[in-house]
Structure 1
Amino acid sequence: MLLLDSPPPDRHTLWEDVHGILVGTTLVALGIQFLRASGLFTGQIAGLALVLGEPTGIRFGLLFFLLNAPFYILAVKQLGWRFTIKSFISVVLMSSMVDLMPTAMHVEVSEPLAAALFGVCAGLGLLSLFRHGATLGGVGIVALWLQDTRGIKAGYIQLGFDLLVFASSFLFFAPMQVLWSLLGAIILNALIAINHRRDRYIARS
């Protein structure tokens, strides 16, 4: 809680934003590597890109970038150019990292551990992006806009979208595959819901 004589919160510097965005995108990309290595998926736009990439053969990075494009219209109108540009850069970085990481590392991990590692890595990565005024597009843009305008926690909004995705995925995936994937999404969104609160975090970006 701020004291009455507390100075207003400072904005993050440019280099702090660069650091936060690099750390955030790297963590999310690493989390996705765990998913891909174990045959799991996730919700939101990233999950859609993973699912569509299997039958089409299109690279995750390209699909993820294209699917996010329509959401930038909402970002510009409701959240401003500063947020939109940071988010655009974050999407490009993360998409590139996901496509390049398999050439530099090989991951073998069980499904339960993959779900947990994805949830922690991606959750912390998104948290870093949110706190530096960016997101990875898609549902994240809608979630941050609703949190800022309606007071609904971003993590809960994202989890709601994820539940819809996972409910329909039972038509296409084995039940245990869906359940382990859902565990990763729950861990991710719980991290965001608990740690990303405007009434606690006062730094600006």
Structure 2
Amino acid sequence: MDDVQRILRRHQYLAKASTAFMYGIMVSIAMNFFWTPGKIYSSGFTGLSQLINTLSGRFLPFSISPSIGLFVLNIPFFILAWKQIGHQFTCFTILTVFLASFMIKSLHPVYLTNDPMICAIFGGVVNGFGTGMSLKNEISTGGLDILGIVIRRKTGRSIGTINIAFNIFIITAAGFTYGWPYAFYSAIGIVVNAKAIDFAYTRQQRMQVLVVTDHPKTVIDSIQNHIPRGITIIHGAEGAYKHDEKTILFTTISRYELSELQEALDESDEHAFASVTEASTIMGHFYEHKVE
């Protein structure tokens, strides 16, 4: 059993390291192929490192490259993550940020187009997908991600307002630096980036599930063996066609767990009927897997 757990742990480490490497490639493509040629600022610390690069080049005798700025800005947050979140989480975050910085520095800009709209959209898609895949594999890309986890653990609240304020600052900086049309293009890029993250990172999306079955106990056992979710049982339902007695099971899962739900139903009751809809708001306790 210990050998199996050791193999699984190594597999997880390899998957996380591979994801960190892929993120480094994708953020460097976004930066060097789209954002830099299009004069587009990204969101978060990546955008802040771009701003520092621009301002240092204009007002200092030297410029601080986005790659160096990105890593240096994250150092205080590495320390925060080490103390407040977990050592493994911090090590993979350092690896991810280092690879991103290294790839941005190593991959020279390729000017495919200077069109700011194209650069904003495609830069946002590429970076957002890479970020979403990182989050899906439980590794952080640094910056405000770390602050968000710490605040949510201590207060139960998100840092949505801080994120919005930070990105407004980046957009405003883009306006003063390159002109206000580029501020709007940067805003478009940030929105596209967020949508791409949501597309790739499904763990935070909540789904409401109703299951109609003739074998409630078997289905419940199967679902809870696959997914750590509570289930509400509604007895006394009646099928309108044959008027036979049915049981309705109600639960809420993340979109990330949808495939496991399908597998659980296939194993327990192939004739079960399930309806899955997106839940816009969840109030009360909803179990979230903690990163370490």
Q: With the length of structure 1 as denominator, give the TM-score of the two structures.
A: 0.81
Q: Is the 8 A contact 1:120 1:187 kept in 2?
A: yes
Which position in structure 1 is the counterpart of 2:75? 69
Aligned: 1:186 with 2:191: yes
Instruction: Compare CA radii of gyration and give the structure with the larger one.
Output: 2
Question: 1 CA distance for matches of 2:25 and 2:31?
Answer: 10
Which position in structure 2 is the counterpart of 1:177? 182
**More helix, by proportion:** 1
TM-align CA RMSD: 2.8
| Equivalent position SS for 2:112 | coil
- Report the identity percentage: 21
Instruction: Tell me how far 1:89 sits from its aligned partner.
Output: 0.6
- Residues 175, 91 of structure 1: alpha-carbon distance in 2 compared, 3 angstrom cutoff: same
- Residues 131, 151 of structure 1: alpha-carbon distance in 2 compared, 3 angstrom cutoff: farther
Q: Is the 8 A contact 2:174 2:186 kept in 1?
A: no
Equivalences for 1:51-200 in 2 at 5 Å? 51-56=51-56, 57-102=63-108, 105-146=110-151, 150=156, 152=158, 158-167=163-172, 169-193=174-198, 195-198=201-204, 199-200=254-255
Instruction: Tell me how far 1:157 sits from its aligned partner.
Output: 6.0
Please, which moves more after superposition, 59-68 or 87-96?
Answer: 59-68
Instruction: Tell me how far 1:160 sits from its aligned partner.
Output: 4.6
What runs of 5+ residues in structure 1 fail to find an aligned partner? 1-9
Q: Is the 8 A contact 1:155 1:192 kept in 2?
A: no
Instruction: Tell me how far 1:106 sits from its aligned partner.
Output: 4.3
Q: Is the 8 A contact 1:90 1:136 kept in 2?
A: yes
- Residues 147, 112 of structure 1: alpha-carbon distance in 2 compared, 3 angstrom cutoff: farther
Question: 1 CA distance for matches of 2:41 and 2:173?
Answer: 13
Q: Which amino acid aligns with 1:90?
A: T
**More strand, by proportion:** 2
Q: Is the 8 A contact 1:64 1:95 kept in 2?
A: yes
Instruction: Tell me how far 1:18 sits from its aligned partner.
Output: 2.1
Instruction: Tell me how far 1:19 sits from its aligned partner.
Output: 2.0
Instruction: Tell me how far 1:132 sits from its aligned partner.
Output: 2.0
Instruction: Tell me how far 1:102 sits from its aligned partner.
Output: 0.8
Which position in structure 1 is the counterpart of 2:31? 32
- Residues 201, 78 of structure 1: alpha-carbon distance in 2 compared, 3 angstrom cutoff: farther
Which position in structure 1 is the counterpart of 2:248? none
Which position in structure 2 is the counterpart of 1:41? 41
Q: Which amino acid aligns with 1:93?
A: L
Matched residues, number: 194
Instruction: Tell me how far 1:113 sits from its aligned partner.
Output: 0.6
Question: 1 CA distance for matches of 2:133 and 2:149?
Answer: 14
Q: Which amino acid aligns with 1:200?
A: R
